[in-house]
Amino acid sequence: MKLVSTEQMRAVDGRAINDLKIPSLELMENAGRGIFDYIDENILPFIENPKIAVVCGRGNNGGDGFVVGRYLLEKGHSVAFYLSGSDDKLSDDCRVNYDKVKAMKIDVVQIISVDALPDLSEYDLIIDAIFGTGFSGAPRGITADFISRINDADTTVVAVDAPSGMDVSTGQAEGEAVLADYTTTLALPKPGLFVSPGREFAGITAVIPIGIPNEVEEYFDIKTNLITGEMASEILLYPPADAHKGDMGKVFIVGGSTGLTGAITLAGLAAARSGAGLTTVGVPASLNPVIETKLTEVMSAPLPEIKKKAALALRARGEIRRWFAGRDAIGIGPGIGRHHETIELVQRLIADLEVPAVIDADGLYAVAQNTECLKDKKVPLVLTPHPGEFERLTGIKPDDNPINNFDLVLRTAKDLNCVIILKGSPTIIGSPGGEVYLNPTGNWGMASGGSGDVLTGIITAFLGQGLTAIEAAITGVYIHGLAGDIAIGDIHPRSLIPCDVIDYLSDAFEMLDEAED
């Protein structure tokens, strides 16, 4: 699903209205009805005899709110309407829907002073329709006070298009902003709804279609995308009923060193749990007994090591190349260490690859010492750096606001000719083909050592099952985060560990199956 800034959304609206001649009032009606349908299906069944307040601004966002309120009235609900300001400066489309509510003999209370602000705590549901996608800056005057009153109500809040007071292009708020439980954003998702602090203002975000044809999106050739469950489900390959282990992908993951056997263990387990038909981990020979104790479903291959160092030696290259033969995907890096021989080994193995591969952790450290080694690759690669690894790899520190990293990740993907996964909150993916993807799943409980190793295993398994590099990256990061999100339904985020994420992968796959249905 395309992810658009305020300017892009304005251009999309403009083309639909001005070039395709879709009446703006028709789009507003579709928006209001779609929001009502979402509320009616997902929120109202859990509130008995709700009292509802619709708080409208004087622009088109307020018009959307009046449409929503009208449908709620027609359904028989108790609805009170409030207008932030007087009704003498309404936008044209807002005026039309304001008048429709008035024609139903419903009073719209105009709030023009602080003394007139209502006590919203008596309502079970508040519809925030003050400001929409076009807002920037800080709310002023009575509107700022109204937003504070909404937040003080301590009740369920649904924002129309955007939480009022928040800039949806950046996720920032310069002043008061509505803390919504749900945000029903219109037509296309906006990036600020999925980064902090914007996602905290937005709550659960739902995208409401408003009747803009797909050809409008295609006309603007938008390169930014939001990963969705439907997208991930459509990408996943489902084997035939008579599939055997050879059909499910044979993968080999190289890693491990003294003190870092957990990393390669997590990667191997995650690959197996993600459906790989045959998973083998290659580790320094002296660590093989440890790995065999840790892993049951995953095979291990003892490899030549540096004497007394329990790190992979450069002379392991030949044996690793033999293990590469007949494999469908390779993972390099989890726990592999930073011995100078191991670094050179990793750099040389890249040229030996005959199938797609993931490079992570200290594998990325090795690549960063000489990125020229990537020019020798013959196959697609997925690189999975966190911000520190990304800076080491490129010499550029990522911005604290993930939205500002879109161009940086995309440029790096093109320069290195690799799929780049900049891990973070949220994770951003860039493809050499020029597309960038934002992943909405995951939570702060996953900010612990080993989470990246789990992701490496998942993506390696997907590559082994036949997904392209960008498909494996998209689906891998989404499912990885989704498993973590499901896990915190049972486990406090503070107590979440990477093994828990692996344990909940099955639930994540089941949820994707439901999305496909």
Q: What structural domains and CATH numbers belong to the chain?
A: 6-222 (3.40.50.10260), 232-516 (3.40.1190.20)
Question: Of all helices (H) and strands (E), which one includes residue 157?
Answer: strand 156-160
Query: What's the pLDDT score for residue 517?
Result: 62
pLDDT of 238 = 82
Three-state SS at 491 = coil
Residue 381, token pair as written in the block: 């690669």
Q: How far apart are CA 398 and CA 349, in angstroms?
A: 28
List Cβ<8 Å contacts ≥24 apart for 134-139: 134/6, 134/10, 134/59, 135/162, 135/164, 135/165, 135/166, 135/167, 135/168, 136/6, 136/167, 136/169, 137/174, 137/175, 138/165, 138/173, 138/174, 138/175, 138/176, 139/164, 139/165, 139/175, 139/176, 139/177
DSSP helix, strand, coil percent of the chain (3-state; round to 5): 50, 15, 35
- Angstrom distance (rounded) from CA 157 to CA 428: 29
| Residue 356 DSSP symbol | -
Q: Of 458, 453, 459, 466, which Cα lies nearest the Cα of 248? A: 466
In the prediction, which pLDDT does 516 show? 64
Longest dimension (CA), the chain: 87
Kindly report the pTM of this predicted structure.
Answer: 0.95
pLDDT at 514: 87
Distance set, CA 253 to CA 129, 280, 359 (Å): 52, 6, 10
Are 406 and 387 in contact by the 8 Å Cβ rule? The answer is: no
Supply 346's token pair.
């990793």
Residue 45: strand, helix, or coil: helix
Contacts of 13 by beta carbon, 8 Å cutoff, 6+ apart: 24, 27, 187, 212
CA distances from 28 to 53, 106, 308, 385 (A): 19, 20, 71, 43
**Residues of the chain below pLDDT 50:** none
Q: Which residue has the tokens 């690859």?
A: 353
Q: Which amino acid would we find at residue 262?
A: G
DSSP code at position 399: P
The first and second tokens of residue 55, run together, are 């708080």
Q: Give CA separation, 135 vs 16, 172, 201, in Å.
A: 21, 11, 14
